[in-house]
Amino acid sequence: MSDFQGQVVLITGAGGNLGAATAELFGRQGARLALFDVNEEALVRVVEDLPEAVEAASFAVDLLDPRAVVYGVDAVRARFGRIDVLANVAGGFSMGPPLHETDDHTWDLMLDLNLRSVFHLCRAVLPLMLEQGSGRIINVSARAALAGKAGMGPYCAAKAGVVTLTETLAAENKHNGINVNCLLPGTLDTPQNRAAMPDQAHDTWVPPAALAQVILFLASPAARCVTGAAIPVYGRT
């Protein structure tokens, strides 16, 4: 794996399973970490679990509040001076009724958590990357982005939007030294998913640490010719 010594990596949803795994992996590669999550207590636990040598700063940020996002990104710049990698890990999932019975709250929640949050972060971070003349953005979409599923309309629509947003940003910035890609993970092997689906074959799911390794690759020089891609990471399902 490439050495990220001194690079600044901003990870959203850092208090969750995938966010924590991503933070640990980049930290072990020498990156300086800016960790965003709305749950301040979860951020504290993630920072405490990092190796002592890792330089990390946590920021309690509501990703759905555009002013809070701008304030958070400004705080990262004040602390570290730059942002080399943005990993948009934050998101959420819920099943629902058929689309014609879906209420506005459910629709808005899925689009807010999974798409609006990505838009807010990319909009806030890109000017800094453009000023630097370099950057890597990795968004987390989902396998569900590729086809609608019964009871998952809002989620599928939001994750499909992440793919299109990624492609747009890649096209707009491919000559600016900024690569933008997204991942299409299958079911993540988390305690929450195991509890929700106890009868499934958990060993076929995607461990968060494995998905974090793909994020690391896309942020590395080895992926310098990859932009606008939606990369499947399905496990063995």
**Whole-angstrom distance, CA of residue 94 vs CA of residue 153:** 10
Question: Is 234 labeled as catalytic in the residue annotation?
Answer: no
**Among the options 89, 155, 161, 165, which is catalytic?**
155
- Burial group, residue 14, by CB count within 10 angstroms (0-12, 13-18, 19+): buried
**Whole-angstrom distance, CA of residue 202 vs CA of residue 3:** 32
CA 59 to centroid of chain Cα atoms: 15
Q: Report the 3 state secondary structure along 146-187.
A: HCCCCCCHHHHHHHHHHHHHHHHHHHHHCCCCEEEEEEEECC
Pairing outcome for strands 85-88 and 230-233:
unpaired
Whether 64 and 39 have beta carbons less than 8 Å apart is answered as: no
How many other CB atoms are there within 10 angstroms of residue 44's CB atom?
14
Residues annotated as part of the active site = 155
